[in-house]
């Protein structure tokens, strides 16, 4: 029993962990360091170790899951391997344990880069098609990973929307949603925050500050818990107004 948080040693993961533990909930952290389950989600072997380690720690029964492990840059194939294939293996691999839980819920951490940064539709499709070797070969063309990042997060948001409403998820009683944070103050962004806040109209942040990991944790907590019981397949933006400022009329896109 308990809630698994991948990326539990990082900014948003650690803040979520602290919030749940403050009221006595059991958290099983998964990370490459400082976690109950040490696993590198960039590789098939690491993902298998993650599923086995979590099963051992929780006795095969989970109530909550936060798929949060991620990296912002690096070789494109690594960004794809961690952010997309690692998150996918987490959601798929731990789903059977959630199905045995009490009022189970899962939250994936997407990003407002899905709609605020350019992405390669070909790469998003390749991720969703699921052939890891082929998709990572495409991702490897981006040496910085900066273009791969929004594609991983868009694939994740689409996967959540596609699967949340299916028999394996809500049909099995598991609510699945995603959060899409904007600029959040964490170790991932610490060096770039001032630069991003100086971009002005290119990347406006109307609240005029970076968000806090604790603010994202509060949203994740809502989506995991009983007060979030009507959220299913939602991708919830929390970005200080960036998306609204850049694309005020792009929501909703009603069927024509």
Which residues belong to the active site? Answer: 149
29 binds ligand NAD (CB under 6 A): no
Give me the residue whose beta carbon is nearest to ligand NAD.
10
Does residue 111 touch ligand NAD according to CB under 6 A? yes
With CB under 6 A as the contact rule, the residue among 69, 94, 157, 160 that binds ligand NAD is 69
Determine the length of the chain: 256
Q: Decide whether 71 or 151 has the Cβ nearer to ligand NAD.
A: 71
Task: Please give the backbone phi and psi of residue 112, each rounded to the nearest 5 degrees, phi first.
Answer: -75, 0
Query: In sequence order, what are the residues at sequence separation of 6 or more whose Cβ sits closer than 8 angstroms to the Cβ of residue 199?
Result: none
What would the x/- binding string for ligand NAD be over residues 6 to 25, using CB under 6 A? -x-xxxxx------------
How many C-beta neighbours within 10 Å does residue 192 have? 13
- Strands 37-38, 184-185: pairing is unpaired
- Largest distance between two CA atoms of the chain: 50
The yes or no reply on residue 109 touching ligand NAD (CB under 6 A) is: yes
Is residue 67 within 8 A of residue 45, CB to CB? The reply is no
219 touches ligand NAD (CB under 6 A): no
- 41 forms part of the interface with ligand NAD (CB under 6 A): yes
Residues 6+ positions from 27 with CB-CB distance below 8 Å:
2, 3, 4, 5, 8, 17, 20, 21
Q: How far is the CB of 169 from ligand NAD (least distance, A)?
A: 20
Instruction: Write down the least CB distance from residue 48 to ligand NAD, Å.
Output: 13
Q: Does 58 bind ligand NAD (CB under 6 A)?
A: no
Please pick, from the candidates 90, 186, 234, 242, the single residue that binds ligand NAD as defined by CB under 6 A. 186
Q: Give one DSSP letter per residue of 164-214, joined into a string.
A: HTSTTTGGGT-EEEEEEE-SEESTTTTTTHHHHHT-GGGS--TTSSPEEHH
**Min. distance of Cβ 69 from ligand NAD in angstroms?**
4
Residues within the interface to ligand NAD (CB under 6 A): 7, 9-13, 31-33, 40-42, 68-71, 82, 109, 111, 181, 183-184, 186-189
């Amino acid at each position: 029993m308990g809630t698994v948080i991948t990326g539990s040693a990082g900014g948003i993961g650690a803040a979520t962990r602290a919030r749940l533990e403050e009221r006595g909930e059991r958290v099983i952290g998964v990370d490459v360091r400082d976690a109950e389950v040490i696993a590198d989600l960039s590789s098939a072997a690491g993902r298998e170790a993650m599923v086995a380690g979590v099963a051992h720690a929780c006795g095969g029964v989970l109530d909550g899951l936060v798929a949060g492990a991620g990296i912002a840059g690096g070789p494109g194939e690594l960004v794809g391997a961690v952010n997309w294939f690692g998150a996918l293996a987490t959601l798929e691999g731990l789903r059977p344990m959630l199905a045995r839980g009490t009022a189970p819920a899962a939250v994936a951490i997407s990003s407002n880069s899905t709609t605020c940064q350019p992405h390669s539709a070909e790469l998003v499709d390749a991720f969703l098609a699921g052939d890891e070797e082929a998709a990572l070969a495409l991702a490897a063309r981006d040496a910085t990973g900066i273009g791969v990042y929004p594609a991983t997060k868009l694939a994740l948001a689409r996967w959540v929307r596609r699967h949340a409403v299916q028999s394996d998820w809500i049909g099995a009683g598991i609510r699945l949603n995603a959060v899409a944070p904007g600029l959040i103050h964490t170790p991932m962004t610490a060096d770039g925050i001032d630069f991003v806040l100086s971009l002005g109209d290119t990347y406006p942040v109307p609240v005029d500050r970076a968000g806090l990991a604790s603010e994202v944790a509060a949203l994740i907590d809502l989506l995991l818990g009983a007060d979030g019981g009507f959220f299913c397949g939602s991708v919830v933006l929390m970005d200080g107004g960036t998306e609204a400022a850049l694309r005020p009329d792009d929501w909703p896109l009603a069927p024509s």
